[in-house]
Amino acid sequence: MRITLLNGPTREINPGVPVAQALQELGVHIDHQVVAARVNGALTDLQARLKEDCTLAPVAVDSPEGLEIMRHSASHVMAEAVRSLFPDVKVAIGPAIENGFYYDFDAPRPFTPEDLPRIEARMGELVAQDLPFERQEVAREEAIDFFRTQGETYKVEILEEIPGDRVSLYRQGDFVDLCRGPHVPSTSFLGAYKLTGISGAYWRGDERLPMLQRLYGTAFPSPEEMERHLELIEEARRRDHRRLGRELGLFSIEDEAGPGLVIYHPKGAMLRSLIEDFERKQHLKRGYQMVMGPQMLRAELWARSGHLENYKEHMYFTEAEGQLYGIKPMNCVAHMLIYKSRVRSYRELPLRLFELGTVLRHERTGVLHGLTRVRQFTQDDAHIICTPEQVESEILGVLDFVADVMAIFGFDYEVELSTRPEKSIGSDADWDLATTALTGALRSRNLPFAVCEGEGAFYGPKIDVKLKDALQRRWQCATIQCDFTLPERFDLTYVGPDGGRHRPVMLHRVILGSLERFLGVLVEHFAGAFPVWLAPTQAVFLPITDRVHAYAQEVTSRFTEAGLRVEVDLRPETLRLKIREAQLQKIPFMIVIGDREAQNRTLSPRLRDGTELKDIPLDQFMGRLRDESQVPTPGKSP
C-alpha cells in the first residue's frame, strides 16, 4: 500500500497500520501537538487503520481544525464528568464553538455555579487517566437500541432522523456518544480548558421544545493561550459601553423611564449629533434627499404595508379620537406616501429618500442589552425606488457607500447574502432578479461573501454587513434588502419612456444601521478614546493657578467660537488631579496653562498617550486641532 505524505515523501506501508504510525514512518514527529490527520483530505482519527493507498497530512492542535477537534473532545469529557456526577441527566448535543465548546443536558435540576468546579475537577481526573477515545461503527438500528436502553432519548431522536445505515460511536471511559468524529487520541490531549458558564438552551434551538441546561467551556492548546483569551474577555469587560457610557457621561438607561429606552447625556448627545451631521453630508453627497416621516401613522396604513400582519407583536399602538395609530417600527411607509404623492416619471428614478428615522419596537425583555438592543432607536434609513434595470447599480452604490463609511471609522467588515426563506411571498422571477442583482454587485466589487440559505426577509433577499471591532467581534450594521411587496401593496408606479405605467423596485437599506447600536460599538471599539473628530470634548484647558484664569478663559472662548469642542477646568485643584480626571475622561488634549504660557501666549498640550508638548503658539495649536477635527479621508495619509 502506497502512502504519501502531503507535500512529502511516499512510502510503501503494510495495510492495516494506524494513521499515527504511518505518519511516523513518513517522518512526521508525533506528539501531543498532533491530534488527528487528513486521509485523502478527510479528517480522520490517528487510531484509524489504513487499508489502501492514500495521501496523509497531520492535523496539529493549533490549526483551526485541530482546535475544533480538541474542543469537541473536551465537550465529550465534560459530558462524561457530568454523567458520572449526575447519573440522572440525559445528554443532547455538544459541539465545539468559537473559542470553546458546550454540551446540552436534560437535567432533573438546573446546574448552579457551584457545580462547575466539581465538574471541572472530575474532568481533571478523566484527563489524568488518559482514557483513549475509541471509534466504533455500528448499524443505525443497533445504535438506537443501545441509546434507548441507556434512556438517552435525545440521541435516539437524532438517530431516527439521520440518513444512512451505519453510524459511528465514540467511547472514552464509561461514556459513549453518537458522534461523527474525529477525536483526539486520548483525554490527555485536552490542553487547557475551563468551564465558563451555564445557561438554558432550547432543544434544537426551538422555543416550543423543552429547555435544556447548557454548560459552556473554553479550551486552548496551552494555558498561555487560554490566559490570553480570558484576558481578551477581561478587556472586553473593561470596554463595555454600558460601563463607559456612564463613566464618560454619554448616556443612561433608567429603570424609572423604562427598559430599552436610551437617555442621552450631554457628551452622548454631542457624539450622536456629530454622527448625524456626518450622515447627512454623506447622503447628500451621494444623491439622497432628506425626508422626515411622522412618529405614528394610522393603523390602516400598517395593515396595508403588511406590518399589522407580520410585525404586530413588535409594534406599539395608541388611540386618539376613536382612531387607532401605530407608532412606527420602520420608516418605509411614510416614504411610500412621499413617492405616491404625485405621478412619477422614469426620469426621476432612482429616487433615494433618506431619513434619520426614529423607530420604536417592542422587543422581548430578555433580549435588551445596553445600546445594542433597545426599544427606541434611530436608523440611517433610506429607500431607493428605481427601475428593475437600475437595481444592480444602486446596490453597487450602496456597497461603495458602506465601504467608504467603514473606512472612515476604521472598521473591517464581512458580507453575507441571505436568500429566499421557506415562508416568503413574491414570484420566482422577482426573487431571481433581486438575488442575481445582489450577487452580481458583490461579485463585481470582488467582495467575498457567505451565503445564508433561507435567511432572507419574507419579502426579499438581503445583504448584511458585519463590521469587526478592535476585539474582532462582529456586529450587524448595514443591510441592503430588496422588497417587492411594498411597491405592490402601495401600488407604486412610474411612467416609462413608452408612456405606460410600470412598477418600480424598492431597496431598503441602512449604512450604520441603528445609531444607538453603532454608538455602542464605537465606544467599545475605541474603548471610549474617540478620535478627535468624534470626541465630544476635544480639549480641556487646565490653568495651574488663578493668576492665569483670564488667559485660560480667553483661550476657551476663542476655541469655542472657532467651533472647537473645548472645556476649561477652573477648580482650585492641583494640576495632577485635573490631568488625572481629564485622562480618565479620555479627552484627546489636556492643555496646561501656567504663568509661562500666559506670558508668551502659548499652550502646553498633553496628549492622551502621555506625550507632552511645550509652549506651542496659540494659533498654531488651534490650527492643529482644526485639522484633526476634519472627517478623515481614508486612502490619504494615515
Which residues participate in catalysis according to the annotation?
Answer: 332, 361, 379, 381, 383, 462, 508
d(CA 396, CA 392): 6
Q: Which of 579, 616, 618, 631 binds RNA (CB under 7 A)?
A: 579
Q: Using CB under 7 A, which of the segments 153-161, 201-209, 272-280, 629-637 binds RNA? A: 201-209
- Would you count residue 207 as binding RNA (CB under 7 A)? yes
Minimum distance, C-beta of residue 377 to RNA, in the bound complex (Å): 4
- Would you count residue 573 as binding RNA (CB under 7 A)? yes
Minimum distance, C-beta of residue 71 to RNA, in the bound complex (Å): 15
Handedness of CA 530, 535, 539, 542 (dihedral sign): negative
Q: Which of 143, 374, 386, 467 binds RNA (CB under 7 A)?
A: 374
Amino acid at 44: T
| Residues in 70-89 that interact with RNA by CB under 7 A | none
Residue 538, all three cell numbers: 476635544
Q: Which is nearer to RNA, 311 or 346 (CB)?
A: 311
d(CA 305, CA 487): 9
Residue 467, all three cell numbers: 463590521
- Would you count residue 201 as binding RNA (CB under 7 A)? yes
The length of the chain, given as a count of residues: 638
Total residues in contact with RNA, by rule CB under 7 A:
68
H/E element, 22? helix 19-25
Minimum distance, C-beta of residue 571 to RNA, in the bound complex (Å): 8
What 3 state SS string does 480-512 have? EEEECHHHHHCCCCEECCCCCEECCEEEEEEEE
Q: Which of 377, 409, 431, 494 binds RNA (CB under 7 A)?
A: 377
| Residues in 152-191 that interact with RNA by CB under 7 A | none
Q: Are the beta carbons of 351 and 344 closer than 8 angstroms? A: yes
Site string for RNA, 330-369 (x = CB under 7 A): -------------------------------x-xxxxxxx
Q: Which is nearer to RNA, 439 or 514 (CB)?
A: 514
Q: Which of 142, 227, 546, 619 binds RNA (CB under 7 A)?
A: 546
- Would you count residue 616 as binding RNA (CB under 7 A)? no
- Would you count residue 312 as binding RNA (CB under 7 A)? no
Q: Which of 187, 435, 479, 556 binds RNA (CB under 7 A)?
A: 479
Q: Using CB under 7 A, which of the segments 72-80, 207-215, 220-228, 488-496 binds RNA? A: 207-215
Nearest Cα neighbor of 362 from 314, 320, 318 is 314
* Angle at alpha carbon of residue 452, lines to 447 and 456, rounded to 5°: 105
- Would you count residue 612 as binding RNA (CB under 7 A)? yes
- Residue 364: CB atoms within 10 Å: 9
What 3 state SS string does 402-415 have? HHHHHHHHCCEEEE
Q: In what order do the strands lie in the sheet with 449-452?
A: 289-290, 351-360, 376-386, 505-514, 474-483, 462-468, 412-418, 449-452
Minimum distance, C-beta of residue 108 to RNA, in the bound complex (Å): 11
Q: Which is nearer to RNA, 128 or 367 (CB)?
A: 367
Handedness of CA 56, 61, 65, 71 (dihedral sign): positive
Q: Are the beta carbons of 99 and 75 closer than 8 angstroms? A: no
Q: Which of 136, 289, 323, 545 binds RNA (CB under 7 A)?
A: 545
Q: What is the DSSP string of 562-575?
A: TT--EEE--SS--H
Minimum distance, C-beta of residue 1 to RNA, in the bound complex (Å): 45
Q: Which of 55, 199, 295, 493 binds RNA (CB under 7 A)?
A: 199
Q: Which of 305, 535, 597, 629 binds RNA (CB under 7 A)?
A: 597
Residue 13, all three cell numbers: 506501508
Q: How far apart are the first and last CA of the chain?
A: 58
Q: Which of 71, 90, 183, 214 binds RNA (CB under 7 A)?
A: 214
Please give the DSSP secondary-structure letter assigned to residue 187.
G
- Would you count residue 574 as binding RNA (CB under 7 A)? yes
| Residues in 380-419 that interact with RNA by CB under 7 A | none
Minimum distance, C-beta of residue 467 to RNA, in the bound complex (Å): 10
Phi first, then psi: what are they for 49, rounded to 5°?
A: -95, 135
- Would you count residue 260 as binding RNA (CB under 7 A)? yes
Q: Which is nearer to RNA, 467 or 534 (CB)?
A: 467
Amino acid at 257: A
Q: Which residues, 6 or more positions from 591, have their beta carbon under 8 angstroms from its beta carbon?
A: 539, 540, 541, 542, 603, 604, 605, 606, 621
- Distances in Å between the Cα of 311 and the Cα atoms of 307, 326, 391 are 5, 11, 26
- Would you count residue 255 as binding RNA (CB under 7 A)? yes
Q: Which residues, 6 or more positions from 573, have their beta carbon under 8 angstroms from its beta carbon?
A: none
d(CA 442, CA 463): 9
Q: Using CB under 7 A, which of the segments 42-50, 178-186, 405-413, 579-587 binds RNA? A: 579-587
- Would you count residue 47 as binding RNA (CB under 7 A)? no
Minimum distance, C-beta of residue 597 to RNA, in the bound complex (Å): 6
Minimum distance, C-beta of residue 414 to RNA, in the bound complex (Å): 13
Q: Which residues, 6 or more positions from 334, have their beta carbon under 8 angstroms from its beta carbon?
A: 291, 293, 294, 297, 328, 355
Minimum distance, C-beta of residue 625 to RNA, in the bound complex (Å): 16
Q: Is 365 left (phi over 0), alpha (psi -120 to 50) or beta?
A: alpha
Phi first, then psi: what are they for 288, rounded to 5°?
A: -90, 155
Q: Which of 6, 223, 577, 627 binds RNA (CB under 7 A)?
A: 577
- Would you count residue 604 as binding RNA (CB under 7 A)? yes
Query: Which residues in this chain contact RNA in the complex, by CB under 7 A?
Result: 110, 112-113, 197-202, 205-207, 211, 213-214, 242, 246, 253, 255, 259-260, 361, 363-370, 373-375, 377, 379, 476-477, 479, 510, 513-514, 516-517, 544-547, 572-577, 579-580, 583-584, 590, 592, 594-597, 604, 606, 610, 612, 614
